Amino acid sequence: MNEGRLLRQYEALLGAVPQSVWVLSADGVVSLLRDGGMPERLWHPDGESSWMDAVHPKDRDWFQRAWRKANQQRAPLDTIVRVRLEEAPDRFRHIKIIAAPVLDGSGELEWVGTATDAEDHWRTRMREKLLARMAPVPAAHNLSEAFLTTAAAVVPELADAVAVFHVEGDAEAAFRPAEGIPAAASPERVGLAPGLPPMHPLDADFLLGPAVQEVIRSQEAGLLTFPPGGPPEDSLSRVSVRWLREAGATSVALLPVVVDGRTVALATTATCRGNPPSDEADVYLLQDVFQQMSGPLRRTIELQGIRDMALVLQQSFLAVPPSVDGLAITALYHPADSAAEVGGDWYDAVRLSADSLALSIGDIAGHDLDAATAMGRVNSILRGLAYDSGPAASPAATLSRLDRIVQALDSPSMVTAVHAVLHRQADNAWHIALSNAGHPPPLLIPADAPSRYLHDLTAADPPLCVGEALPRNDLHAVIREGDTLVLYTDGLVEVPGTDIGDGLRHLRERTDALVRKGVSQLSLIRALLPPVQNRWDDIAVIALQARRER
């Protein structure tokens, strides 16, 4: 009587708890004792497939290990695992499984367990874990660091691949990889689960697909699901579709990162290798994670704004070289490949008379707005001194005057410069008098001989702003018809950790090789620039070629 009453009480208790009760026999047959009102119907045994087939592919390995350990030790099992929904084979739900070993009447081991819906609990716990991983992001020094932290947080638990792109302009424009992520995206800069193919290099004009345009415009996340390796070609870019096919992708989540009401970045994640696609709940979690990048993105945007203003200021001082009969003048300025740096490089050319020209190039130490504004002041003073001194002035005397004025009125960092005055001579030749204040030597490219420097490094005088009343000297040379003279800043020849002598030798060898190919002056100057990714410093170049008078 008491046993019957206890059984009824136990059954009543089970009926009040939203869980399923099951038994796994020693020969692997699963029997459902009670369907406990689960939100979705879970996998039910059909007599042909293993119950382990219902477990999510990403959970199968660790869950099998846990199950074997429990069997070997005959110890209870208590864990949360993703299980396929019977009515939606491509959807999974987190289930809390508690199982206990018991011996049947014949002494064989079987298992009795419960299955309880744990989706909300798992989502809450996962959100807390992901946000804890993202805690360093607001303090990240740069966007690349923030991205790497974010990628590590979501791969491979929520996604198999993740990439972040900086949105330029509106949804109709192209976009490029976020700062610090090279155009030829590599696994170090793109979060990829092990075994996935590398990302394809992105073209310079990587166009958005319609689905991405809509996400950027609406600022609402998008989710595309599709058969393994079959992404929709009409929604994504060609390069994306190609990679998703190779990776056996099943879904792509498109997540806008919004800063001050503007979509400034797009985070994309993908499930790959035939893994079940993400669902809306995954997208909500991913949105929370990637929005944590808004802080570093805001700082990046602010730094870029400062850099843009500084570049405008800097380039406003780089006047277009004057037109001088008998001379072809070319000038270029390229900033360093950095999101936050500007520099103090400048060039200038001032026509002193019909037959004379003042030429200068210089570099103020530093890579910030202060260096750019100091450059403007020093350049303006030198330009005024050169014009006031006239064609007969000694370049060394002009630099000495500049040194005294700048040190008296300002406190800039060290300044290197070359200042030259050119005078027309007969037969389309030009005489050059120049003074070098600690700057790399000018390169002369004769029309009929290998290139050479006008002087060696030891012939340069000390830089400006390093002492008072330092002696300065004039050097003299002649350029004849067809000769080219190149003045440049150290970004063209210096590489951190290497000797500048090696850089000077490489520049001369590269020049001679280009001249032998018959490259024109403008093309030559552009070809001498190092690749963008190797430009650690600003580069300013001004070159002139003696020509026959018109």
Which residue has better confidence, 418 or 310? 418
Query: How many angstroms separate the CA atoms of 208 and 214, rounded?
Result: 10
DSSP single-letter state for residue 203: P
State the pLDDT confidence band at 199, using cuts at 50, 70 and 90: confident
Contact 205, 241 (CB under 8 A): no
Residue 195 pLDDT exceeds 80: yes
**Both ends of the chain: CA-CA distance in Å?**
124
What is the pLDDT at residue 499?
86
What is the pLDDT at residue 342?
61
Question: Which residues are within 8 A (CB) of 231 and not within 5 positions of it... i.e. 6 or more apart?
Answer: 224, 240, 241, 244, 245, 249, 252
> Which of 310-314, 360-364, 442-446 shows the lowest per-residue confidence on average (mean pLDDT)?
310-314
Query: What tokens were used for 57?
Result: 């592919």
What is the pLDDT at residue 13?
45
Residue 179 pLDDT exceeds 50: no
What is the pLDDT at residue 188?
35
What is the pLDDT at residue 410?
72
CA proximity to 274, closest of 232, 225, 318: 225
DSSP single-letter state for residue 368: S
Q: Estimate the share of the chain in helix, then strand, then coil, as percent rounded to the nearest 5.
A: 35, 30, 40
pLDDT digits (tens, 9 = 90+) for 240-273: 888 899 999 999 999 888 888 888 778 888 999 8
> Which of 123-137, 209-223, 375-389, 393-407 shows the lowest per-residue confidence on average (mean pLDDT)?
123-137
State the pLDDT confidence band at 353, using cuts at 50, 70 and 90: very high
Look up the pTM and report it.
Answer: 0.53
Query: What tokens were used for 419?
Result: 């200042």
Query: What tokens were used for 195?
Result: 């075994």
pLDDT digits (tens, 9 = 90+) for 452-487: 999 988 889 999 988 888 899 999 999 999 999 999
Contact 503, 493 (CB under 8 A): yes
What is the pLDDT at residue 487?
96
Residue 495 pLDDT exceeds 50: yes
Residue 406 pLDDT exceeds 70: yes
Question: Which residues are within 8 A (CB) of 137 and not within 5 positions of it... i.e. 6 or more apart?
Answer: 146, 149, 150, 292, 293, 295, 296
Mean pLDDT across 493-508? 87
Residue 230 pLDDT exceeds 50: yes
Contact 244, 199 (CB under 8 A): no
Mean pLDDT across 498-518? 90
What is the pLDDT at residue 10?
45
Query: How many angstroms separate the CA atoms of 73 and 441, rounded?
Result: 79
What is the pLDDT at residue 190?
64
Residue 348 pLDDT exceeds 80: yes
Mean pLDDT across 55-68? 85
pLDDT above 70: percentage of residues in the chain: 76
pLDDT digits (tens, 9 = 90+) for 525-537: 888 887 765 566 7
Residue 123 pLDDT exceeds 60: yes
State the pLDDT confidence band at 280, using cuts at 50, 70 and 90: confident
Helices assigned H by DSSP within 334-368: none
What is the pLDDT at residue 422?
96
Tell me which H or E stretch contains 524.
helix 521-528
Question: Which residues are within 8 A (CB) of 509 and not within 5 positions of it... i.e. 6 or more apart?
Answer: none
